[in-house]
Structure 1
Amino acid sequence: MDANAVTEIVGYAASALIVLSITQTSILKLRLFGFAGGLTFLIYALAIGAYPIAVVNVIGASIHAWYLRKLIRRKAEVFRILHVAPDSEYVRRFLEFYADDIQGRFQPEFVHEPEADTITAFTLRDMVPAGLFIGEQSGDGRVEVKLDFAIPQYRDFAIGSYLYSEDAGLLADVPATSLWSTASNPDQAKYLRRMGFAEVPDVPGRYERQVDAAQAA
């Protein structure tokens, strides 16, 4: 492969990284891909002698690096669980606002039919309502996860990791022994496995996670 072909590949790679950066909903990922794209474009610009383009990308990469440093060094985020009434007006409006995202991509079978024992809780991330959990108790200690949804800008697994941790208190005052959910697509199945759920033998698409006593205390 000659030098011109290699240079062209570097240019295409730089373009791909820049395009990828603007598709990210996570600010951290946007900055990471933007920084990588800027550096790659810098190499490409120097290789073809386009010095004005090189200068622009030095500036762009430096800006991304500065914001990345701020993101990495900022104080640790604070997570909290906020239980709310199943028939809360805010829950209804939240579900209406994100209905297309929930039913079109994540849990198309979800229908909100609140009952008195429905577990409804927001995950607050630095006091922003970043995720919503809705679960139904079955009476035998099992809780069906009807909805586990994070708003677009907070989809980095941090919410789920906290939600199902002992510290969260998601199932406080609920005599639960396990959580279960049905994966409607490969992405959801991957997420459930990452959150500690295991596929139930002989029941395709169903995943279950045992609840520690501390979580249900």
Structure 2
Amino acid sequence: MVWLEIVGWVGSLLVIVSLTQARVLRFRVLNLVGAVIATAYNAIVGIWPFAVMNGVIAVIDVYWLVRLHRERHDADVYAVLEVPADDAVLRHLLTSHASDIARFHPSFAVADPAPSAAFVVVRGDELVGAVVVRAAGDGVGRVDLDYVTPRYRDFTPGEFVYRDSGVFAAHGFRRLVVDGRGPAEAHAYLERVGFRSTTDGWQREVAAAA
């Protein structure tokens, strides 16, 4: 049947497309859908070795999707490291992803004056993001960069930086501000990490250090 052949090709195509994805979550979702379709197709036509193989792949994808969603807000999985402005690891991250950063933060420049506070977010031994804040005067810290590497773009590791307001208070900040421009997805993220929309952009109060 032609429709069955089409379904089989769709499953194969999705598996192939999934392997081109840099984002770990998108890869798992596409791979899962393709594997499920391929499992059904091969079972219907009686090619059991491939049906079993794709069924096992689907189970593995489900396992990783559950684990990734369970860990996405887990502070035991992600760690935040405050680093000096001239930190070599931070500079490496910024220069290695300069073109990608320019897409989402066109006004950010590595050569700008040294930040007042800089943080890198790690998952195990993997760098997944960075937050750079510069003093704007009168206790205000301007978030110049809140960046996530493509692999973890579907997650929000920056939230771990904002969880501990004490790190900002220690630098004398009473308030953080962010440029209000950007897609609705970025606005939803800002709301999740405690910012509120105002006429002067997005702002977040910083609790005094304990």
Q: TM-score range, shorter-chain basis? A: 0.7 to 0.9
Match of residue 178 from structure 2? 181
Q: Give the corresponding residue for 1:125.
A: 123
Deviations 1:61-93 (A, max 9, x none): 303423643675698643322222212333333
TM (normalized to structure 2)? Answer: 0.76
Structure 1 range deviating more: 56-65 or 18-27: 18-27
Residues 35 and 89 of structure 1: is their aligned pair in 2 closer, same or farther, counting only changes over 3 Å? Answer: closer
Q: What are the within-5 Å matches in structure 2 for residues 1-217 of structure 1?
A: 7=4, 10-11=7-8, 14=11, 17-19=14-16, 21-47=18-44, 49=45, 51-52=46-47, 55-66=49-60, 68-69=62-63, 72=66, 77-103=76-102, 105-112=103-110, 113-115=112-114, 118-166=116-164, 169-171=166-168, 173-186=170-183, 187-201=185-199, 203=200, 206-213=201-208, 216-217=209-210
- Percentage of identical aligned residues: 30
Relative distance call for 1:60 and 1:46 in structure 2 (3 A) is closer
Distance 2:89 2:67 in 1: 34
Distance 1:126 1:68 in 2: 22
Q: Normalising to structure 1: TM-score of the pair?
A: 0.74
RMSD: 3.2
State whether residues 12 and 34 of structure 2, in contact with CA within 8 Å, keep that contact through their aligned partners in structure 1. Answer: yes
CA distance in structure 1 between the aligned counterparts of 2:64 and 2:187, rounded to whole angstroms = 34
Q: 1:121 to 1:17 in 2, by over 3 A?
A: same
Contact 2:25 2:154 in 1 (8 A): no
Superposed displacement of residue 4, structure 1: 6.3
Give the residue type in structure 2 aligned to 1:199. S
Q: Is the 8 A contact 1:18 1:34 kept in 2?
A: yes
- What is the rounded CA distance, in whole Å, between the counterparts of 2:105 and 2:89 in structure 1? 20
Three-state SS of the structure 2 residue aligned to 1:176 is coil
What is the CA–CA distance in structure 2 between the aligned matches of 1:101 and 1:147, rounded to whole Å? 12
**Quick check: 2:42–2:50 contact (8 Å CA) kept in 1?**
no
Over 3 Å counting, the alpha-carbon distance change for 1:71 and 1:125 in structure 2 is: same
Cα distance change of structure 1 residues 42 and 124 upon mapping to structure 2, 3 Å threshold: closer
